[in-house]
A and B are shown apart, each in its own frame.
Chain A
């Protein structure tokens, strides 16, 4: 069974540009989460989808970030325009609905560098 995949693995962009990150969850997982780790800091929650609906987006830093999950399958996270402080590693995770203890399966992350 394929795990959570993320694309690209690395992205280097200039300040002011737009970047779109993609996450493909494990097939059949209704829950999809985005997290971010800024250099030297904790991994922080960004938002949570249940199928195609946003369940919790309390961690989104500002309106430059837009997440979508069309059809309840893969998800994209767009940053527009990117700022220097957006640099970090963006993780996606998925879990099954009804999975007690909330075991989330993580992807390898996308390392975003904004110059």
Chain B
């Protein structure tokens, strides 16, 4: 079974500072990897996904993530945090054959942005 570990349940950053959220996965096959964001009282929204194309993936709202197979990592970054980035972020891996399989999620990281 595949699994995901997110390091840090809470991250606090200053507005304008770098956002770095860490995600490590375990998988016996090449994985599909995802970052989702959940704003208060909303559903999960896809930020970006890795599907074995480019290892540096750009997503919405200025976020990007780099797939590093040697480190089994898929860390999420944003160069400059905005107040609107305050939310909970989830890293997920797709199990099985990838086309329409269930997702395994990390525990989530809550980001707060200080003015």
Contact = CB atoms under 8 A, between A and B. Distances in A.
Q: Please classify how large the interface on chain A is, using the bins under 10, 10 to 19, 20 to 34, 35 or more.
A: 20 to 34
B36 A106 contact: yes
B49 A103 contact: yes
Interface of B: 4, 32, 34, 36, 41-46, 49, 51, 90, 92, 94, 98-108
Contacts, number: 70
A102 B94 contact: yes
Given A43-B90, A91-B43, A91-B44, A104 B103 contact: yes
A43 B109 CA distance: 12
30 contacts: A31-B100, A33-B102, A42-B4, A42-B107, A43-B108, A45-B104, A55-B100, A56-B101, A56-B102, A91-B44, A95-B100, A97-B100, A98-B99, A101-B32, A101-B49, A101-B51, A102-B32, A102-B94, A102-B98, A102-B99, A102-B100, A102-B101, A102-B103, A103-B49, A106-B36, A106-B44, A106-B45, A107-B43, A108-B41, A109-B43
Contacts of A41: 107
Nearest to B52: A101
Contacts of A105: 43, 46
A4 interface: yes
A33 B105 CA distance: 14
Interface of A: 3-4, 31, 33, 35, 41-45, 48, 50, 55-56, 59, 91, 93, 95, 97-109
A105 B44 CA distance: 7
Given A102-B94, A108-B41, A108-B42, 7 more contacts: A35-B103, A42-B104, A43-B105, A56-B101, A100-B51, A102-B99, A104-B103
* Shortest Cβ-Cβ A-B pairs, 9 listed: A101-B51, A106-B44, A106-B43, A45-B102, A43-B105, A108-B43, A102-B94, A107-B43, A31-B100
